[in-house]
Structure 1
Amino acid sequence: MLVLFVCFANTCRSPMAEAVLNHLQSKKQLNWAVDSAGTSDMNAGRSPNPNTFAVLREHGLGSSHVSRQVRVEDFSNFDYILSMDESNLSYLKRIAPEGCRAKVELLGEYRMDELDKIVVDPYVRNRNKALKPIDGATTRSLYAARTLSIKRFKS
């Protein structure tokens, strides 16, 4: 299973979700490939935001991610491309080649409770609220892993 998480700049939300799902899939020995990217190229080639690494460390997670922009070939290389919010989802659907392999969805669709469907961009909120995406990313990544595992084994 190949999963790509996408947010705008690939510096906070999608690298967090990537780190969480990498951790979960390695614990369960699922042997999935997980990556993340941004719809913007503004941070391509750079490390994610230092706060992202700090939050991951606080939760016992690590990451060696380098930010990158979504590429057209991602739509044929990944099984699932999961967006953090609706504006990035809309962009992804606009650039997705017709008949692409990847299923392009909102990460928030993989939830089993009343969490918001959107993983809020930390740059829009203050630091205390900005750090909450790890909780949302953890929960949603867990639900995504569970749901995608079930789908994978049924096919």
Structure 2
Amino acid sequence: MTYRVLLVCMGNICRSPTAEGVLRYFIKINNLGEIVEVDSAGTHGYHVGEVPDSRTQRAASARGYNLSQLRARKVARQDLDYFDLILAMDKSNLDNLRRMATPEQQQRIRLFMDYAKNFDDDEVPDPYYGLGHGFDLVLDMVEDASLGLIDEIKKELRRT
């Protein structure tokens, strides 16, 4: 059994690649690499093929996450069939994904912060236009939600 997770923001250069890098790290340390596949994408194609934003990479690197191999891509219709769980960073991107999805695909689409345990926020704020401190907040939120998601995946695996 493989569990496939897609993390989605607008341009796929800040929040969703951060979430991908952090989640990949937690998958590895929890020995779930053979079971969980993770990817990220954007609802808009502004940055297709680009590496994550340099500020995102710096903040992630300071915590030991390497995002340099990631490249931005746009969500494709086939992603909605391929991935078991599609997690949006905010409500705007959630709405964009829901508009793309068929009725059968709707239950796969949720907010990433639904898995957070220490943050009450529904959305991971977009740090792109803000000051540098926003990238650390994004990391805090993404780490929290990633740990919660790992816990849920482990529960699901115990049930099967």
1:95 and 2:100 aligned: yes
**Superposition CA RMSD, Å:** 1.6
1:34 aligned partner: 38
Q: Could you tell me whether the CA contact under 8 Å between 1:122 and 1:131 is conserved in 2? A: no
Residues 12 and 122 in structure 1, CA contact (< 8 A), matched pair in contact too: yes
Q: Deviations over 1:22-44 (max 9, x none)?
A: 00001111121111000000001
The 3 A distance-change label for structure 1 pair 130 and 59 is closer
Question: Structure 1 residue 97: deviation in Å?
Answer: 2.5
Identity percentage of aligned residues:
32
Determine if the alignment matches structure 1 residue 121 to structure 2 residue 123.
Answer: no
Look up the match of 2:151.
Answer: 146
TM-score by length of 2: 0.90
Q: How many residues align?
A: 155
Q: Is 1:78 matched with 2:80?
A: no
> How many angstroms does 1:53 deviate by?
1.0
1:56 aligned onto 2:94: no
Alignment partners' CA distance in 2, 1:114 and 1:59: 19
How far is the alpha carbon of 1:52 from its aligned partner? 1.2
Q: CA deviation at 1:112?
A: 2.3
Q: Unpaired runs of 5+ in structure 1?
A: none
Quick check: 2:44–2:74 contact (8 Å CA) kept in 1?
yes
Aligned-partner residue type, residue 30 of structure 1: L
Q: What TM-score comes out, normalization by structure 1 length?
A: 0.93
Equivalent residue number for residue 47 of structure 1:
51
Q: What are the ranges of 5 or more consecutive residues in structure 2 without an aligned counterpart? A: none
Moved over 4 A (4+): none
